[in-house]
């Protein structure tokens, strides 16, 4: 490596061969260009301090290469930066020299110039596509379709994530059961919900712990008041016994009030809290809340009715599967025969037609619709169907009578067909 003074900066530029030549271990002819370096360059002072300042710079206008390069980079886009590199290095340098120079430039600037060169290539490619190059336009359209597909995939993931989050919230969302949660010392009148909301449970827990702590503190404070009372009596008795005056600390109105006032204040606060708890437990249910709870109860019945109808249509619900998995108690199951166990298992189905209806009748079960297995038509059409049936019966009866009149004595009616 060529030695130089810190005031100078040397760039060693390869003039032949490419990156492959370096890999073969052959020395490259180089030319050295020396340019003055401005002493106020911070990176130069750092390199000089470290003893690694070894190569570069160029300009004719007194600016260092680093300063000129930074100015050109700040000036605009990648094409301007690439033109600056070509202007500084020279137009007659091949790609191998340019790559080696770029590597040295990255080492000294501490920056990666790969994105700059890549941006320059992209810019030239975009210009060709805008000028009408079919190959470049086809590549651009292909990447546009890839971006559109990726965007659609991202939108689908976003929708799926939102739906999963909504289902998770719905799974843990409290449902009014239609019951009343009576007011207590720790909460007012509330509707019974399943699952119980965690904030309500935490409020109740906090109030229970606070009440327990308050009772313990009250017992300690009342004991302190009793101790103060005994201390005051002791001082008064000692004064009466000795018939002498001495300073007292617990007896007397002022001393006693000074000791008792903070304790009494805390006891008064505890009393107010107790009164608020008793008032909370005595709160009545508001009429609006009562009506909402009754409506939740009616909705629960409607929901169960719809669930039973879906099960009758053949849908397998969680409640139906849970009911099928149930069985009689163990002491009864142990005394049942295999046939009785099979009938019990069949009778737990919601169906009321066919073999299930037959088993339920044998077991004495009451069917909700005994005529469910008969094809009687829709309920709203049954009056018309009954009337049509009567008309058909009357017509058949009339035809039989006419045929009987037409028959002569001693003859038989011919079979049709």
- Read off the pLDDT band of 413 (50, 70, 90): low
Q: Within 10 A of 50 (CB to CB), how many other CB atoms are there? A: 8
* 322-378 pLDDT, tens digit each: 888 888 899 999 999 999 999 998 888 877 888 888 899 899 888 877 777 666 667
* 382-407 pLDDT, tens digit each: 788 888 889 999 999 999 888 888 76
Q: Are 181 and 190 contacting, i.e. CB atoms less than 8 angstroms apart?
A: yes
Alpha carbon 263 to its chain's center: 50
Mean pLDDT confidence for 238-267? 84
Burial 379-396 (b: 16+ CB within 10 A, else e): eeeeeeeeeeeeeeeeee
Is pLDDT above 90 for 245?
A: no
> Could you give the C-alpha distances from 25 to 11, 20, 284, in angstroms and in order?
21, 9, 96
Q: Locate tokens 């008969």: which residue?
A: 374
Higher-confidence position of 157 and 104: 157
Is pLDDT above 80 for 134?
A: yes
Give the per-residue pLDDT at 311. Answer: 84
Is pLDDT above 90 for 240?
A: no
Mean pLDDT confidence for 163-179? 88
Quick one: CA dihedral 233, 220, 273, 279, positive or negative?
A: negative
Give the per-residue pLDDT at 34. Answer: 35
* 292-316 pLDDT, tens digit each: 999 999 999 999 999 988 887 888 8
- Read off the pLDDT band of 414 (50, 70, 90): low
Is pLDDT above 50 for 26?
A: no
Q: Which of 85-99, 113-127, 227-241 has the highest mean pLDDT?
A: 227-241
Higher-confidence position of 239 and 157: 157
Record the pTM: 0.47
For the chain, the domains span: 8-126, 132-173, 190-288, 316-327+337-402
For the chain, how long is the longest CA-to-CA vector?
A: 153
Mean pLDDT confidence for 103-108? 48
Mean pLDDT confidence for 100-128? 63
Render 71-123 in DSSP notation, one character per residue: HHHHHS-HHHHHHHHHHHH-TT--HHHHHHHHHHHHHHHTS--HHHHHHHHHH
Give the per-residue pLDDT at 338. Answer: 92
**Tokens at 88, concatenated:** 């500084």
Is pLDDT above 80 for 22?
A: no
Is pLDDT above 90 for 216?
A: yes
């Amino acid at each position: 490596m060529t030695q130089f003074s810190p005031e100078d900066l040397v760039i060693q530029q390869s003039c032949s061969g490419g990156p492959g030549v370096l890999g073969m271990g052959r020395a490259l002819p180089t030319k050295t260009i020396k340019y003055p370096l401005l002493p106020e360059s911070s990176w130069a002072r750092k390199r000089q301090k470290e003893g690694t300042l070894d190569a570069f710079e160029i300009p004719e206008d007194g600016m260092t290469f680093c300063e000129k390069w930074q100015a050109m980079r700040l000036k605009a886009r990648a094409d301007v930066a690439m033109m600056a590199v070509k202007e500084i290095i020279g137009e007659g340098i091949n790609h191998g020299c340019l790559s080696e120079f770029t590597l040295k430039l990255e080492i000294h600037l501490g920056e990666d110039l790969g994105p700059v060169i890549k941006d320059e290539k992209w810019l030239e490619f975009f210009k060709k596509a805008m000028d009408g190059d079919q190959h470049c336009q086809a590549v651009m359209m292909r990447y546009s379709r890839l971006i559109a597909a990726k965007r659609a995939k991202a939108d689908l993931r976003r929708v799926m994530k939102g739906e999963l989050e909504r289902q998770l919230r719905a799974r843990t969302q409290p449902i009014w059961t239609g019951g009343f949660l009576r007011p207590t010392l720790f909460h007012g009148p509330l509707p019974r919900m399943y699952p119980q909301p965690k904030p309500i449970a935490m409020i109740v827990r906090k109030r229970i712990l606070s009440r327990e702590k308050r009772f313990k503190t009250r017992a300690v404070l009342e004991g302190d008041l009793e101790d103060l009372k005994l201390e005051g009596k002791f001082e008064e008795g000692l004064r009466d016994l000795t018939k002498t005056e001495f300073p007292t600390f617990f007896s007397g109105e002022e001393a006693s009030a000074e000791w008792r006032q903070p304790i009494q204040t805390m006891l008064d606060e505890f009393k107010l809290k107790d009164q608020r708890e008793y008032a909370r437990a005595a709160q009545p249910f508001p009429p609006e809340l009562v009506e909402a709870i009754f409506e939740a109860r009616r909705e629960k019945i409607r929901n169960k009715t719809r669930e039973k109808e879906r099960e009758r249509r053949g849908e397998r619900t969680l409640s139906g599967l849970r009911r099928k998995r149930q069985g009689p108690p163990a002491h009864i199951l142990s005394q049942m025969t295999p046939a009785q166990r099979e009938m019990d298992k069949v009778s737990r189905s919601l169906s009321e037609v066919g073999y299930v209806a037959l088993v339920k009748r044998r077991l004495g079960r009451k069917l909700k619709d005994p005529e469910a297995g008969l094809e009687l038509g829709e309920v709203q059409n049954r009056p018309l169907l009954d009337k049509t049936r009567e008309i058909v019966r009357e017509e058949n009866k009339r035809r039989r009578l006419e045929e009987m009149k037409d028959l002569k004595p001693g003859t038989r009616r011919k079979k049709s067909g």
